[in-house]
Amino acid sequence: MTPTQLRAFAAVVRLGSVKAAAADLSVSEAAVSMHIAHLRKELGDRLFTRTGAGIAFTPGGLRLASRAAEMLGLQDRTILEVSQAGSGRRLLRVAASSLFAEHAAPGLIELFASRADDLDVELSVHSPQRFGTLLLERAVDVALGPRPATADEGLSRTPFLNYEMVAVVGPHHPLAAQRASLTASELRQQTWLLGPSAAGRIGLVPTVLHQLQVDEEHQRIFQSHAAALEEAKRGKGVALALSFAITQDLADGDLTRLAGPSLPAKGAWSVLALSHGAPPAAAELIRFVTTPRAIQAMLRGAGVTAGRFRPAIHVTLWS
């Protein structure tokens, strides 16, 4: 069983056909079929059959599918670690939800990375729904953000920060002078200015929108939560914001809080990692993230921009 054979099988699993797998791997369909045939012969299992509805996997094929992703991820990780060992450096790959990545991750990672001269940190943004898969496939070492709806028993979860989400408008918005609590009907009729976390199904932002039954036609989703807040300051609509990130804006009168059902909303962020086999740097971050220094770094407001990162930290945005 070779890595090339496993990559061919994993591509078939991921894409649902030999043709699509061949295109993805930039090889011929015959090459993919040959690799699959070798696996079938070595394992004594057909792995999958073609049906009118697509590909149907055997029980053995399903088991290999989960193992293949894990084995390939471990191989990539090993190659990386061996390469780094020669240069005396370590790499910690961190996945984060969009809300955490924008507001809390910069300060946390900047402080954490500054504690070790031999550590590089790579931050990538993902939906919390993918946290479990990314960790089990060893595509990342640790994940930060809201708790996924379901968590694999092979993962450990450590809550580390409670936060509050509030609804705000600019000083010239018609609702800015509203002192009484708004009704759900009044809120759902507003134009909602939202960051990318609104596009997901897990997290406090989609939860609030669901509870208020805000239709998609009333939602405007921006590339960042900061951009949504800037529009709110101009009186263009209602925005959802982390209370610790807008303290100064509220004090300066640039934003005004609204009261209503489901508002303010309270949530919690957690750190997820493999229960066994996580790299030492991941264990270090899990211990560090609950410390007072780490909490203060995350609560500094909107954090620091990507341009303020130390050179050892790399940011990758995944769509």
- Give the pLDDT score at 53: 61
Domain with CATH 3.40.190.290 in the chain: 90-319
Residues in the chain predicted with pLDDT less than 50, given as ranges, are 301-319
- Give the pLDDT score at 208: 95
State how far the Cα of 138 lies from the Cα of 185, in Å rounded to an integer.
Answer: 45
Domain with CATH 1.10.10.10 in the chain: 3-80
- Give the pLDDT score at 88: 62
Domain 90-319 has CATH 1.25.40.10: no
Give residue-wise pLDDT tens across range 81-109: 676 666 667 889 999 999 999 999 999 99
State how far the Cα of 221 lies from the Cα of 196, in Å rounded to an integer.
Answer: 6
Q: Which CATH class is domain 3-80?
A: mainly alpha
